[in-house]
Amino acid sequence: MDTSPEQIESLTRDIEQFEKKARRRAWLSAIVPLLFGAILLGYTIWQIQISSQKLTEVQSKLNMTSQELSTTTSSLQDATGQLDQANMTLLDTQNKLDSATRELEQARGELERLRQELDQTTQDLKNANLFVANSYPIDIVEIKGSPLYLSSIHEELLLDILFMQMDEVGWNLNGFSEAEGFDSPNFAIYVLQKHGLISTNYPPGTRPWNFLRPIDQPAVGDIIYYEGGYTMFYFELNGESFVIGMTPLGILAQKVNFAPILGYLQVPY
C-alpha cells in the first residue's frame, strides 16, 4: 500500500503526540508516588519533630521530677535525721525524768524517815518531859536495912534493879540481856526469873500479865502495868510509894501515877 507524504507526516505527528502523552502519563505516574512519598515523609518528619518536642518536654518534666524526688529524698533524710535526734533527745529526757523520779522517791522516803524520826524524837521528848516531871529520887543508903520491906527479897530485888541502873543497862526493843538491853515487859520477866520468882521457861516477848495473877491493889514488889506497855515494880519507901523499871530512857524510878494504869499483878514472893 502506498503512503503519501501527508499521511506519513500525520502519522508522525500522531506518534509524537502519543509519545508526549505517554511521557506525561509516565511522568504523572512517577511524580504522584514521589509527591505522596514527599508528603508522607514531610508528615513523618513533622510527627517526629512533634514527638521530639514532646519527648523533650517529658524529659524536662522527668528531670524536674528527678530533682524534686532528689530534693524530697534529701528532705526525708533530713527529717529522718531530725526524728532520730528527737528520739534520742526524748530518750535522754525520759532517762532524766526516770532519774528525777527515783531521786524524788528517794527524797520522799528520806523525808518520811526524817518525819518518823521527828515524830519519834518529839515522842521521846514528851516521854522525857513526862519521866522528868514524875521522877522519884532513891537513896540506896535508905534502902539497905529499911524496916519498911516485908522481906529481904524485896530489898535484893530493888537493889539489883538500882545496880543495873548504875551500870547503865539500857532500852532495847525485844532485847533480853543486860548487855543488849530490854524493853519494859522483858525487863520485868528477866528480873523475876533472875530472882527465881517465875519459871525460866517463859521466853523473851512474854508479857507478865499472861501468867501472873491480877489483883485490885498492889503490895510491895508487885507489878503495875501501864498504857504504853510500861511494866514497873511497885515499892514503898519512907511512907511514899513509887515504881521502878525499864523505860525508853533507861531504868527509872517514877511516881506511881506517871502514866494511865491498866492493872496490877501479884508477884509470888
The answer, yes or no, to whether residue 59 has pLDDT greater than 90, is: no
Please, which pLDDT band fits residue 151 given cuts at 50, 70 and 90? low
* Residue 176: predicted pLDDT: 94
> Residues 28-34: what's their mean pLDDT?
76
Q: What residues pair up with 233 in beta bridges, in sequence order?
A: 223, 244
Phi/psi of residue 202, nearest 5 degrees:
-75, 120
Domain annotation covers residue 120: no
Q: Is residue 119 part of a domain?
A: no
Please give the Cα distance from 158 to 261 (Å, whole number). 21
* Last-in-domain residue among 107, 126, 153: 107
Last residue of a domain, one of 65, 90, 107: 107
| Lowest mean pLDDT across 105-109, 144-148, 167-171 | 144-148
Q: Position of cell 535522754?
A: 92
Q: What is the pLDDT of residue 214?
A: 95
Report the distance separating Cα 265 and Cα 233, nearest Å.
10
Q: How sure is the predictor about 144, in pLDDT bands with cuts at 50, 70 and 90? A: low
Residues 233 and 142 in one domain: yes
Q: Which amino acid is at 107?
A: A
Judge contact between 148 and 178, C-beta under 8 A: no
Residue 201 — pLDDT band, cuts 50, 70, 90? Answer: confident
Average pLDDT over residues 22-30: 75
Residue 178 placed within a domain:
yes
154 and 41 share one domain: no
Range of the domain at 178: 136-266
Interior/surface letters 118-141, b for 16+ CB within 10 angstroms, e for the rest: eeeeeeeeebeebbeebebebeee
To the nearest whole number, what is the mean pLDDT of the chain?
Answer: 86
d(CA 191, CA 4): 188
Residue 119 contacts by C-beta under 8 Å, 6 or more apart in sequence? none
**Order of strands across the sheet with 231-237?**
213-215, 261-266, 223-226, 231-237, 240-247, 250-254
Residue 122 lies in a domain: no
Q: How sure is the predictor about 91, in pLDDT bands with cuts at 50, 70 and 90?
A: confident
What pairs with residue 263 in β-bridges? 225
Of the two residues 253 and 13, the one the predictor is more confident about is 253
pLDDT the model gives residue 29:
75
Going by their DSSP bridges, the two strands 223-226 and 231-237 should be labelled as antiparallel
Q: Does the structure show a pLDDT above 80 at 150?
A: no
User: pLDDT tens for residues 104-126?
Assistant: 888 888 888 888 877 776 676 67
- C-alpha–C-alpha distance, residues 184 and 178, integer Å: 13
Output the domain CATH number for residue 224.
3.90.1720.10
- 203 and 255: one domain? yes
Count of structural domains within the chain: 2
- Res 247: pLDDT: 95
DSSP 8-state assignment for residue 217: S
> Are 143 and 250 found together in one domain?
yes
- Dihedrals phi, psi of 246, to nearest 5 degrees: -85, 135
Is 200 domain-assigned? yes
Residue 91 in domain: yes
Please write the tens of the pLDDT for every residue from 172-195: 998 999 999 999 999 999 999 999
pLDDT for the residue 160: 95
